[in-house]
Structure formats: structure tokens, C-alpha cells
């Protein structure tokens, strides 16, 4: 799964990297501890143009009567995304890219303590998570919301968790965004192990209130 991530690249650099037009209001950065329900950067198509916008991380189906009207949907499983009522329309017509500098996952020691690990890209400055998005509005409250697509973990990540986010290379972005026709479903696989590296970080990141660049520094035994 993906339950926490970081983003350190400035918005203007992301706009250039994704060749996207940036919105006026984007989340402040850098952010070393992005949590569910936070606003995140996302790239999607608007009238054929890539736009870098802000979305709420936590997909809200249109039938939710309140923001807490059902389970918090931060991830969408690749294997069932096309069939789940909450996701099936979005996966066909509303796909996006969610930039990340890296993401966190946890293991446990023999005492049950949560041990955080940080995973980051070995190729390129950023990860692009495959995402889906949905507009939601009730009683004058409106959100553009998103979820990260996950798949079965590859060999490297499986030591930490049985799921991992789908990450896409630049040459795959046009197909996922819908610029290059049909066939995006074949992209929903685990990234090659060589494209990801990981290391332990300090347990302070276990708190969703923790901040600062030291959250992604390697833990010195």
C-alpha cells in the first residue's frame, strides 16, 4: 500500500518535468510527511492540456454524503479497480499522476514496534504514482480527490509489505493520462527492483505530525 510519502521538488520544477501548466494554488512544500486527507500535487488532463493541480488525498465517491461518509480510500487495488463501483469510472476516464520524492513503509520488530523505511527512486528525481481522481461536492463543500493505485509488491518491496504503489516512467505518462490511446491497464504492475532503493529512517515519522528534512535521513544504527 502507500500510506505516507514525501515531496521535495518545487512546484515550478514539477511543472517543467511533467510539461504541465501549474494552478495558482498548490500545496506548500517541501513536505516530508504527506498524510491521508492532505492536499497533494497531481497532474491530469484538462481539454487535452496537462495541468498541475492540488487534490485531496482520499478519494470521495459521489454517493458519500459527508467527507467521512465511508471508508477513507487512499489506495485503489490494480487487480479490482475496474470493477469496484467507487473506482471503475475514474480508472477509465479520470487518471492522474501523483508526484513523490519517496514513500514510507513499516515493518515490526520482535516487540511489535513499528520500524519505518523510506523508499526512493534510483533513476530520475521523482516518482510518479499512478492515480485516479474524482470531484465531490456536498452542501457547498467541494473537493477534487484522488487515490494512489497499488499492486502486488515486487521482490524488493515484499520484504516490507505485500503491496506497493504503481510508479510510472516518463514514457508511460501519456498512456496513463489518456494522451496515447487505450491500454493503460497494462501499466499497473510493480516497478523493476533496480528503480527503487530503501533504507531505515527514524521512528519519529510514525507520528503524522512530524515534520522536517531529517525524517528522510538514513537511520544510523
Domains of the chain (ranges, CATH numbers)? 5-216 (3.90.1680.10)
How far lies 179's CA from each of 22, 95, 138, 201, in Å? 18, 11, 31, 38
Confidence check: pLDDT of 198 > 90: yes
Confidence check: pLDDT of 71 > 90: yes
Query: Quick one: what percent of the chain has pLDDT higher than 70?
Result: 99
Confidence check: pLDDT of 165 > 70: yes
Neighbour tally for 117: CB within 10 Å: 20
Query: Quick one: what percent of the chain has pLDDT higher than 90?
Result: 91
State the chain's mean pLDDT as an integer.
95
What pLDDT sits at residue 221?
A: 65
Bond into 30 cis (ω within 30): yes
Q: Is 105 exposed, middle or buried (0-12, 13-18, 19+ CB in 10 A)?
A: buried
pLDDT tens readout for residues 83-103 = 999 999 999 999 999 999 999
Cα–Cα distance, 128 to 165 (Å, whole number) = 10
pLDDT tens readout for residues 109-151 = 999 999 999 999 998 899 999 999 999 999 888 999 999 999 9
Cα–Cα distance, 52 to 1 (Å, whole number) = 24
Q: Which neighbouring-strand residues pair with 97?
A: 43, 130
How far lies 160's CA from each of 3, 81, 187, in Å? 13, 23, 22
Q: How confident is the model at residue 79 (pLDDT cuts 50, 70, 90)?
A: very high
- Mean pLDDT confidence for 158-183: 95
192 vs 74: which has the higher pLDDT: 74
Amino acid at each position: 500500500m502507500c500510506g505516507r510519502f514525501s515531496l521535495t521538488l518545487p512546484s515550478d520544477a514539477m511543472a517543467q518535468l511533467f510539461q504541465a501548466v501549474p494552478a495558482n494554488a498548490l500545496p506548500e512544500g517541501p513536505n516530508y510527511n504527506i498524510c491521508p486527507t492532505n492536499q497533494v500535487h497531481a497532474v491530469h488532463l484538462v481539454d487535452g492540456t496537462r495541468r498541475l493541480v492540488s487534490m485531496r488525498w482520499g478519494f470521495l465517491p459521489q454517493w458519500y454524503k459527508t467527507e467521512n461518509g465511508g471508508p477513507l480510500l487512499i489506495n485503489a487495488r490494480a487487480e479490482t479497480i475496474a470493477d469496484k463501483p467507487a473506482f471503475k469510472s475514474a480508472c477509465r476516464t479520470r487518471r492522474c499522476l501523483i508526484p513523490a520524492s519517496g514513500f514510507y513503509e513499516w515493518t515490526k520488530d520482535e516487540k511489535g514496534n513499528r520500524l519505518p523505511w523510506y523508499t526512493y527512486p534510483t533513476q530520475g528525481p521523482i516518482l510518479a504514482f499512478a492515480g485516479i481522481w474524482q470531484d465531490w461536492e456536498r452542501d457547498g463543500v467541494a473537493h477534487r480527490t484522488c487515490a494512489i493505485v497499488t499492486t502486488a509488491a515486487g521482490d524488493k518491496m515484499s520484504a516490507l509489505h505485500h503491496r506497493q504503489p504503481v510508479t510510472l516512467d516518463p514514457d508511460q505518462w501519456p498512456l496513463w493520462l489518456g494522451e496515447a490511446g487505450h491500454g493503460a491497464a497494462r501499466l499497473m504492475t510493480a516497478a523493476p527492483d533496480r528503480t527503487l532503493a530503501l533504507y531505515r529512517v527514524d521512528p519519529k515519522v510514525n507520528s503524522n505530525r512530524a515534520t522536517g528534512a531529517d525524517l528522510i535521513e538514513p537511520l544510523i544504527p
